[in-house]
């Protein structure tokens, strides 16, 4: 069976998908091993505590966000900050101002393959 891949993406033309109210995602590129996504988060939006088997590396392009970890630790992140969540590491978020994130998942997430 041929692996599904996306070799090229564009923020201006690719499909924006709503992940949760006020949280939109563009999947830019992926193969089976890794995936690159861009997120637009509106001030006041929240993402429930969740976990997934993929590791997650991210970078705050602009804005201000709190990531809440399963142990209660709060990551207070602003433009220029990077972060990492290990596989199955519970986390959620509260968006304090309009925020944009670039994130890489390893391996890629089937639920984000649009």
**Hey, CA dihedral for 3, 54, 34, 111, is it positive or negative?**
positive
Give the per-residue pLDDT at 88.
97
What pLDDT does 1 receive?
41
**What tokens appear for 11 in the block?**
């923020």
Cα dihedral 85, 86, 91, 92, rounded to 10, equals 40
* Cis previous bond, 107, omega within 30: yes
pLDDT at 94: 98
The neighbouring-strand residues paired with 36 are 29, 104
* Regions of the chain where pLDDT drops below 50: 1
What does residue 111 show for φ and ψ, rounded to 5 degrees?
-70, -10
CATH topology of domain 20-112: Jelly Rolls (2.60.120)
And the tokens for 16?
């924006």
pLDDT at res. 3:
59
pLDDT of residue 4: 83
Whether this model's pTM surpasses 0.85: yes
State how far the Cα of 2 lies from the Cα of 59, in Å rounded to an integer: 31
């Amino acid at each position: 069976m041929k692996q599904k891949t996306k070799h090229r993406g564009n923020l201006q033309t690719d499909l924006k998908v709503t992940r949760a109210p006020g949280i939109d995602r563009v999947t830019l590129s992926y193969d089976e091993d890794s995936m690159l996504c861009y997120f637009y988060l509106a001030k006041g939006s929240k993402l429930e505590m969740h976990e997934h088997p993929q590791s997650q590396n991210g970078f705050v392009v602009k804005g201000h966000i709190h990531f809440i970890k399963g142990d209660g630790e709060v990551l207070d992140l602003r433009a220029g900050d990077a972060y990492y969540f290990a596989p199955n590491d519970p986390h959620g978020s509260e968006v304090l101002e309009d925020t944009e994130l670039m994130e890489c998942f390893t391996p890629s997430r089937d639920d984000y393959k649009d």
